[in-house]
């Protein structure tokens, strides 16, 4: 049981590191180039969120078109599929990663649907969109922002 818990915790830690790195280097790094597959994040999601004080209408309903939410879901499902084989030999890790990915999606979606909720429960993510978008890369929990010195109030 202790190994399962350690695997689960390791997956949460790794997922938070991955969330930070992907947001920082893929979505905001490579995403600066308009022809990049990651450009949707800055040129769709951030622009809309900035104009509408954090609300992204693409997150109001389940995705029907190839919008930011659908692209994000595609990436998250890909992460789940890559990690699925771990259910065979590192069950705690697989459940931890699944929990982290699903939590990330639900928290991110809720934050872009309900501004007051985002301000209260994910203030770092609200500040990322409304304030300095070069800080606060984590969405679900700012652990790696603290560790990497990118957390900003």
Mean pLDDT, rounded, of the chain: 95
Name the token pair of 138: 């984590």
Residue-level pLDDT at 79: 97
Long-range contacts of 22-27 (CB under 8 A, 24+ apart): 22/75, 23/137, 23/138, 23/139, 24/137, 24/150
pTM for this prediction: 0.93
Instruction: Report the pLDDT value the prediction gives residue 89, as an integer from 0 to 100.
Output: 93
CB-based contact 54:112 (threshold 8 Å): yes
User: Average pLDDT of 141-152?
Assistant: 97
Q: Give residues with Cβ within 8 angstroms of 141, minimum separation 6.
A: 16
pLDDT tens profile 103-144? 999 999 999 999 999 999 999 999 999 999 999 999 999 999
Mind listing the pLDDT tens digit for each residue in 47-71? 999 999 999 998 888 777 788 888 9
Residue 63: predicted pLDDT:
75
Instruction: Give the number of other CB atoms < 10 A from CB of residue 134.
Output: 11
Domain boundaries, the chain: 2-148
pLDDT value at residue 8? 98
d(CA 59, CA 76): 15
In angstroms, the CA 104 to CA 146 distance is: 18
């Amino acid at each position: 049981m202790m190994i399962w818990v350690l695997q689960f915790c390791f997956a949460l830690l790794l997922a938070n590191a991955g969330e930070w790195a992907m947001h920082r280097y893929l979505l905001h790094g490579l995403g600066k180039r308009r022809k990049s597959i990651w450009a949707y994040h800055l040129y769709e999601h951030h622009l809309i969120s900035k104009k509408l004080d954090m609300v992204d209408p693409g997150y109001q309903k389940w995705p029907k078109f190839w919008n930011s939410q659908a692209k994000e879901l595609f990436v998250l499902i890909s992460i789940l599929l890559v990690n699925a084989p771990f259910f065979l030999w590192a069950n705690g890790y697989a459940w931890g990663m699944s929990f982290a990915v699903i939590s990330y999606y639900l928290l991110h979606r809720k934050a872009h649907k309900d501004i007051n909720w985002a301000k209260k429960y994910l203030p770092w993510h609200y500040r990322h969109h409304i304030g300095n978008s070069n800080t606060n890369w984590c969405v679900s929990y700012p652990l790696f922002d603290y560790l990497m010195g990118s957390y900003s109030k």
